[in-house]
Structure 1
């Protein structure tokens, strides 16, 4: 068996085409375009690259990107104040705080300064709760992108056993809740899980979201399973790709799988935030 590729580039391109149409419609109706504010603290090269990519995508769909750069030595209080000012600005529809922030900053306090109505990256406690209770909150962008990718390939989720390896508050935990909401049976695994290989081997769907290169070995994959690798391109992903592809039915490449879906989901949720903001 050779796995079929879950092509995030092609799927995200289709999503962004729809976003472009929604932006144009919003502009015709309201005389302005949706605005995404990105907050970047410090000079981490990878973070600058990600923010630049997001700004480029905004431009391609006709959306405005407002970039706020702050010195790495700022305090939590200053960052929180900046984010609260953006939250109060009626010209801003969505807010993204680029992760990670410098270690001395209380990242959770900064996230919580984002107005949930503008939390298009789905990082606040309120967004997580609304998402978990199916009350219309914004999904964390990467988990939301994963679900959109699975849906694009019409992968059935109801009744399936999904194993999520990773428990971060903006990736592992929310993707498990989204799968649960779609009637999958979800097992969370993490660094303290015993017999990880046995858990993975029973999974119909594996979501690798732990950030450790090739932690998930190819021989662990159940024949016919769906493998979603949310690892990073610069560390080759969390899954031993070639070996896993010989056993899986579908698999995401790294890069080109989950990453493009994250940005597309972020922009789609920004348009939604803009639309919902005008309805208040």
Structure 2
């Protein structure tokens, strides 16, 4: 195999949950530009078709699979319908800020289910079909800097992303022997719709720039390389790991 072929993901079928906006949409574009067949996912069919049209106008032709990643029956039906899947990117996630002592159970459950339970549900269905076909495959869980660190008012999010990191390792323990590689990407602070308010908070922005060795926010497209690596044969013996893409925040005190 040519050395560069190790990184080739052309023709691979890639399902990205929560890909109608934000980092998921950026990752979808990255895989499309690399020649993959991308399946966009979200709950709103209208939003997905809008994004699909954007990509079509840019010369790409993604597929669309509108389903709720927390609806077990809908997940099962959708995964059956869009087979085969070579790469699953569990990206669906939300952030709801509140101090833990002021966090209602409904908010806690909403964040935990969306960020953690959905990854379990979708991966379980994808892997069952990978096992039936004997194809093997790749799972990439979008974790977070908060998978290993906490900050005030991020308790539910931190718990969910910490859980996703450990779920990544549990998936490896159960599925690595079937030629399935399961890894995570832990983004630091990237400029997205979700973080816009933080960027506009002068005190927080100044703190972050000083706290980050790279002295800047991440650009969403800077996650693409890590995703392509973990989706390719170049990572065939990388399993159960979480790759921090954070400008160095997690490397220094």
Structure with more relative contact order (C-alpha pairs < 8 Å, separation 6 or more): 1
The structure where helix makes up a greater share of residues is 2
- For the pair shown, the structure with the greater C-alpha radius of gyration is 1
